[in-house]
A and B are shown apart, each in its own frame.
Chain A
Amino acid sequence: MSEPPGAAVSLTDAPPPASDAPSKPFAAQRVLPLRRPGRWIATAVVLVLAAQFVHGLVTNPFYQWDRFGYWFLRPTILDGLVVTLEVTAYSAVLGLLGGVLLALARLSKSPVLRAVSWVYIWTFRSIPLIVILLFLYNFSALYQTLSVGVPFGPAFFTFDESRLATDIVVAVVGLSLNQAAYAAEAVRGGILSVDQGQHEAAAALGLPKGYQFRKVVFPQALRSITPNYVNQLIDLVKATSLVFYVSLLDLFGAAQTMGATYPGDIVPLLLVVTVWYLILTTVVSVVQFYVERYFARGATRSLPPTPLQKLRTGVSDLRARIRRETAI
């Protein structure tokens, strides 16, 4: 600055510069948005690249879209899809139940429960899923019967392992064991996120312990559990493709088998699998949106709009804007 500080202060008393001062008061002036040419250029570049990608996807004969159409709804593929859905559904529910129990054990005041839960989570997060699945697959050879009873004492129930352990059971047990370890951490995080004041208020009202958890703490925890758990659920959907290695024909397994029989169709078969997984993930994401919206009750002053509501307000906003623009 060339001017001394005193001069800067005196500027406030000086008359405003007369150069381009508007004739009307500021309130009446419409503010024009800043032009952003860089943004327009970047948008154009991305659009061109995207168009090229889509063009390649459609026209490249390598993808064999006619064969894709042939395979997409074949019964073999749909049977595989059903297996994928079954395995996912069972494992998601059992994994979440196991996760809640493990999380409660980790938050318990008993050091033994805490340690057991910690060791379980540590173990099953460390072992690759495929290793767990192959272990279980060979389990029936290691232990022919499974008994429930006192250790070294009498057994109350005995199961014949080879009869119990069908392929789907092996797959669901393996995925659930793995899923529970991850779900436990998501659930624990959710429970910890509930304000201490909520526990105190529930205790001060004399609410029974089980009621405190089911009706006060857990519903609030679910709000932060949901995004984390859905993330794992999407992982789970794809992880089911590993059950092919324990001779279960899921979506991926079905495509793989068909690919072995029709080697020329491997690429369209992989595309079929890709599109089905995309659809499953989309469904999970849509469900997630509504589940989160449900648990947001009371947490926010107003609920986030559904896509339909967004579309409606978007259209009416656009109309209003057009009316404004054309009126001037």
Chain B
Amino acid sequence: MSTETLQIVPAAVEVHDVHKWYGAHRVLDGVDLTVRAGEVTVILGPSGSGKSTLLRVVNHLEKPEIGYVSVNGELIGVRKQGDHLKELSERAILAQRSNIGFVFQNFNLFPHLTVLENVAAAPVATGKLDRDEAQKLARELLDRVGLADKESAYPRQLSGGQQQRVAIARALALRPGVILFDEPTSALDPELVGEVLAVIKDLAKSGTTLVIVTHEIGFAREIADRVVFIDGGKIVEQGPPSEVLDKPQHERTRDFLSKVL
């Protein structure tokens, strides 16, 4: 690991009383969550419980109807105006997102760009680095995720596990204070899950703030500082894995864990 890629300053995330609904359906029903800088938080919950939506609210891919998110104290997607919150311009929101990495379930790499271009694109486009610096950084990051030899391949020439590792390198290229993972291994063959989890584990050790939605309970137990169990758009319980996973207090949590373990 080089010094350059380590220049990440972990950020704290606060989700304050977030409500989100589609028509009559309440997806998030008053969620409060505090993630301290450098902490690894794993969000568990049955499908449709709102865990992916919560993650997408954090980087403002989804707009909450009520409530707000802040990263290092800075409101995301909105600003305070008197007693109200007012939506920011698209340009301002895009600028804020460069401090919040996002890794998708389906990778969403840009298929027409090479692996190196995928990783180097964002720092150049957002004016953080010039082309040469970005490529240098991209090579370091690809080396870090174990894909130094794949820089001129196109994403579709890679396996799912390799693609997801490129996607992680792409998110890291902006040196975000927090990285959000939306079921990063759910689209992978079982034998490829390990290589992606290993990269995430490496990130967790380096002190980056991570928020991970996953179904990998064993992985959660291993790396999480805190596990959050969410159901019906509400946080049912949260705490260190030794409590939530091994001694769940709520019936709903016990029921869920008995099905996935």
Contact = CB atoms under 8 A, between A and B. Distances in A.
21 contacts: A197-B104, A197-B106, A200-B61, A201-B109, A203-B61, A204-B100, A205-B97, A205-B122, A205-B125, A206-B94, A206-B98, A206-B122, A207-B94, A207-B122, A207-B126, A209-B91, A211-B125, A297-B112, A297-B154, A298-B113, A301-B157
Contact of B110 (A216, A295, A300, A301): A216
Interface residues of A, number: 24
Contacts of B96: 206
A206 B108 contact: no
A231 B224 CA distance: 56
A15 interface: no
B102 interface: yes
B121 A206 contact: no
Given A197-B106, A205-B97, A299 B112 contact: yes
B85 to A, nearest CB: 20
Given A206-B94, A206-B122, A206-B174, A197 B112 contact: no
Interface string B49-81: 000000000010100000000000000000000
Interface residues of B, number: 31
The 6 closest A-B pairs by CB, nearest first: A206-B97, A298-B154, A201-B108, A204-B102, A206-B98, A197-B108
B95 interface: yes
Contacts of A204: 59, 61, 97, 100, 102, 104
A207 B157 CA distance: 25
Contacts of B122: 205-207
Interface of B: 59, 61, 90-91, 94-98, 100, 102, 104, 106, 108-114, 121-122, 125-126, 154-157, 170-171, 174
Given A204-B102, A208-B126, A301 B156 contact: yes
Given A202-B110, A207-B126, A211-B125, 12 more contacts: A198-B110, A201-B104, A201-B109, A201-B110, A203-B94, A204-B97, A205-B126, A207-B94, A208-B126, A298-B154, A298-B156, A299-B112
Interface string A162-199: 00000000000000000000000000000000010110
Contacts of A202: 110
A207 B173 CA distance: 13
A285 B63 CA distance: 47
Nearest to B94: A206
A219 interface: yes
A206 B125 CA distance: 9
A215 interface: yes
Interface in A188-246: 195, 197-198, 200-209, 211, 215-216, 219-220
B111 A299 contact: yes
Nearest to A202: B110
Contacts of A301: 156-157
B67 to A, nearest CB: 20
Identify the interface centre among A200, A207, A216, A298: most chain B CB within 10 Å of its CB: A298
